[in-house]
Structure 1
Amino acid sequence: MAARRSIGQRVARYREASGLSRAQLAEEVGRNADWLRSVESGRLPLDRYTMVHAIAAALDADPVDLLGRPTPVGDPRTRPAHRTVPALRRALLRAGLPLTVQEEPPPLDVLRRRVDETDRLRRHAHYGELGLLLPQLLDDLRAAADTSAGVDRDIAHHLLTEARHNAAMLTKKLGHPDLATAAAAQARQAAAVPGDPLLATAAQWLQAEVCLTVGATAEAQALIDGGLARLDGLLTDTAPGAWSLWGTLHLVGAVLEAQLGRQAESAGHLTEAATAADRVGEHPGHQTEFSAGELAIHLVHAALELGADPDVLDRITEVDLSRLPRERRARHGIDRARLFARAGDDATAVRELLAADRIAPEAVRAHPLVPELVLTAAHRSRTPGPATDAARRLAIPL
């Protein structure tokens, strides 16, 4: 298997194709030529989405191309998930076509159980199993939504919104932001039918997440602001669902502001989210996973984008993360690895990655920054060691 390119090597390739010198590109993103040389050579990891998006904009490139397109034939742990993408793409394309199946759709209680199962698989990063279930579920839910009436019609559209949410999240994690964009837009269409403002806001939050992934910060900001405005009049002592969405939107806002380098604004969002976490407790709603644990890992994630070092982890030592879904805990482990790699502690960074891999291997191996961390650690190591072993375990060709 050919060695995997680092993000820095891809940057060099795009920079040379665009005719820019290192000094010119570095100036565009507020750095110097020596820094860019270290990134392109693999001595420094390009581990901040803020910088990836800034470089992509300067090069007129898609951020996904710099992060690396999906590799469906590489890792046997993620290969089954990638193989489900064509069927899922076709299911999303069918969403606007007339129904062709004349059979009665499954009962709503059966569909509810099937949606719950996809929720579970998404939360714990069982992407291959999730991808197998979603295409037929999306078809069955669309049939139920189109053929039912009254309360049943609203329930069917609610379930369809949830399933499309899971489709958007899966395709986003697997590196297909265009499919995620389509699924999120379809989720928002379904959410508009029942007239439930919380469901509509949940769909807006989903779209904001997808926008953030591709660096569409203005669009993400508009969605966050619109969602918060809708929720403002719905926040009561007996509305945990509204508070969960309120807190979640503020967490996304905190990350967005961090990516824009606005520390005070990011901190303001985290303060609002902390207020919501006190009200919600351990009972989030609308697929948000919102809790004190979710607040803690977003605090770290936002700090990463602002250039923090590992000391930021001291701020969350008293927070219990054990109740978070496996996918969230694994992604936090990746953030921990990024912090230690930034501090030059590659051995600890590799240990954090391998610990995260034991929690949710599909989440770790689908993450675009994991290869970057391993490749940088291997490049900086003078002899084969932990980084080489990690590359072998995570199926990252050196």
Structure 2
Amino acid sequence: MTNNLTIGERVAWYRRRRGMSQEVLAGRVDRTVDWLSKVENNRIDLDRLSVIKSLADVLDVALADLVAEPSLMQWTSDSGMRTVPALRAALMDYRRVTPFGASGSGVEPPSIADLQHELSTLWEAYQAARFGYVTGRLPSLLAHAEAAVDVYTGSQLDAARRVLGLAYQLAAVQLTKIGEADLAWIAADRGLSAARAAGDIVVIGTLLRSVTHALQATGRYREAVQLTNDAANYLEPNMREATPEMLSVYGTLFLAGSIAAARANDAITTRSFLQAADEAATRLGQDANHLWTAFGPTNVAIHRVATAAELGDVQVAVDLGPRVDTAGLPMERRVRHALEVARAYSTWNRGDDALATLLDAEKMAPEQVRYHVMSRQLVLAWVRQNKSRPSSTLVDLARRLDVMD
């Protein structure tokens, strides 16, 4: 399987491998044979993850098998020549799950100040959508933070554990972003262990959000909704006199949950979670970036667009999406919203607007556009659906995204 198959073509490929007719598959997902035929022949776009997940369940394949994740990370001057495999090796270091600790690693722990600076540098790079840079340098940060936890005591140990928890959270969100859901789960679990050891309720809260994202990446949307409720109840006693950090963590938890609810086709819970996030944003008073959450009223607006698209309310996404001013947010948030707007335009048959939006997003953050399944599948569908020869602009974009030879 390669990157240059649409989701519909992958459905057809797995259906044939399972020896299943179109009639059987269509019936098991409560759709017509005509609908499935159009999906497999690229006459209908599969752009709602809830529908894709239902097909994956019947075909007994992982959600990632249909959405073509993960994608090969290119070597760049930012990433170097050791990317996801090096991060996988760091997460699967036997010393982390055996009694031998990091004493044999030979890594010297930096000072807490240097460790915090290293953490901030990588989080800022992530928010600037420099994914290769982050992936290539995360193994070093994790090794330094683990060594610090093994060596320091007292207040320095608590500080090191906080850094370690946030470093593993960064690993989780980065791995989720590039389609490595199983590794993201490991990272979130490790981060939660560090945060619990430090007794840091804020870091525990932000890592619970990462677990929610990891659940979504594997199509476990209802579990992600339940986790959102459980995590909110866990954090609730701290909300009466919440700090800006806590408000941001609490609000972004509900934003993550709103996406999960929308993908589970639960419009009532989606609205409830968005309302809770909006109330937290109102209390915060403005867009901010506490603990690299980019939380505030604008991020809530972005999620209103994304959830509308997931629920099939395309007109809402088309009307609201272009009006959201994301200029004050980190690049990763700005470009993620642009992808939603491009998807809405495409579904609304405004192909020129969709392509222009995607090209603008690519100029801002080429790595993010390249690695995101939404942009790759949009471009591939446009190429397949083009009855005449695709424009040179579209062909060039498809080649940059590695979905066309």
Tell me the TM-score normalised to structure 2 length: 0.92
Task: Return the offset for 1:321.
Answer: 0.9
In the alignment, is the contact (CA less than 8 A) between 2:212 and 2:257 conserved in 1?
A: no
Residue matched to 1:352 = 357
Comparing 43-52 with 159-168, greater Cα deviation is found at 43-52
Superposed, 1:74-223 pairs within 5 Å as: 80=79, 83-94=82-93, 95-97=96-98, 98-99=101-102, 100-102=104-106, 104-223=108-227
Match of 1:373 among 363, 366, 378: 378
* Distance in 2 of aligned mates of 1:59 and 1:356: 34
Task: Return the offset for 1:331.
Answer: 1.2
* Distance in 1 of aligned mates of 2:375 and 2:11: 17
Deviations 1:298-346 (A, max 9, x none): 1111111111224434335654311111111111111111111112222
Q: 1:20 to 1:338 in 2, by over 3 A?
A: same
In the alignment, is the contact (CA less than 8 A) between 1:77 and 1:362 conserved in 2?
A: no
In the alignment, is the contact (CA less than 8 A) between 2:318 and 2:344 conserved in 1?
A: no
DSSP 3-state at the match of 1:160: helix
In the alignment, is the contact (CA less than 8 A) between 1:82 and 1:174 conserved in 2?
A: no
* Distance in 2 of aligned mates of 1:376 and 1:169: 27
Amino acid at match of 1:4: N
Match of 1:383 among 377, 389, 394: 389
Deviations 1:207-264 (A, max 9, x none): 1111011111243123212210012111135522222122112112211111121212
Task: Return the offset for 1:180.
Answer: 0.7
Amino acid at match of 1:136: S
DSSP 3-state at the match of 1:286: helix
Residue matched to 1:66 = 66
Structure 2 spans left out of the alignment, 5+ residues: none
Task: Return the offset for 1:284.
Answer: 4.0
DSSP 3-state at the match of 1:193: helix
Amino acid at match of 1:370: S
Task: Return the offset for 1:103.
Answer: 5.5
DSSP 3-state at the match of 2:5: coil
DSSP 3-state at the match of 1:297: helix
DSSP 3-state at the match of 1:15: helix
In the alignment, is the contact (CA less than 8 A) between 1:310 and 1:340 conserved in 2?
A: no
Task: Return the offset for 1:137.
Answer: 1.2
* Distance in 2 of aligned mates of 1:68 and 1:305: 19
Amino acid at match of 1:305: E
Amino acid at match of 2:225: Q
Task: Return the offset for 1:83.
Answer: 4.2
In the alignment, is the contact (CA less than 8 A) between 2:321 and 2:341 conserved in 1?
A: no
Amino acid at match of 2:85: P
* Distance in 2 of aligned mates of 1:304 and 1:162: 31
Amino acid at match of 1:272: A
Residue matched to 1:397 = 404
Task: Return the offset for 1:366.
Answer: 0.4
* Distance in 2 of aligned mates of 1:108 and 1:57: 46
In the alignment, is the contact (CA less than 8 A) between 1:338 and 1:349 conserved in 2?
A: yes
Q: Does 1:12 align with 2:12?
A: yes
Deviations 1:76-131 (A, max 9, x none): 66994884111111111123352113564110100000000010111111011112
* Distance in 1 of aligned mates of 2:369 and 2:322: 22
| Identity value in percent | 32
* Distance in 2 of aligned mates of 1:214 and 1:22: 25
* Distance in 1 of aligned mates of 2:224 and 2:316: 29
* Distance in 1 of aligned mates of 2:378 and 2:20: 26
Residue matched to 2:22 = 22
Match of 1:303 among 276, 297, 308: 308
Q: 1:222 to 1:256 in 2, by over 3 A?
A: same
Residue matched to 2:36 = 36
Structure with larger RCO (C-alpha < 8 A, sep 6+): 1
Task: Return the offset for 1:358.
Answer: 1.0
Comparing 50-59 with 112-121, greater Cα deviation is found at 50-59
* Distance in 2 of aligned mates of 1:30 and 1:375: 26
In the alignment, is the contact (CA less than 8 A) between 1:39 and 1:45 conserved in 2?
A: yes
In the alignment, is the contact (CA less than 8 A) between 1:138 and 1:164 conserved in 2?
A: yes
* Distance in 2 of aligned mates of 1:22 and 1:85: 37
* Distance in 2 of aligned mates of 1:345 and 1:305: 18
* Distance in 1 of aligned mates of 2:77 and 2:175: 13
In the alignment, is the contact (CA less than 8 A) between 1:167 and 1:180 conserved in 2?
A: yes
* Distance in 2 of aligned mates of 1:217 and 1:238: 28
* Distance in 2 of aligned mates of 1:216 and 1:234: 28
Task: Return the offset for 1:142.
Answer: 0.3
DSSP 3-state at the match of 2:4: coil
In the alignment, is the contact (CA less than 8 A) between 2:206 and 2:253 conserved in 1?
A: no
In the alignment, is the contact (CA less than 8 A) between 1:72 and 1:79 conserved in 2?
A: no
Count of aligned positions: 397
Q: 1:3 to 1:250 in 2, by over 3 A?
A: closer
Structure 1 spans left out of the alignment, 5+ residues: none
* Distance in 1 of aligned mates of 2:282 and 2:257: 19
Q: 1:79 to 1:43 in 2, by over 3 A?
A: farther
Task: Return the offset for 1:178.
Answer: 1.0
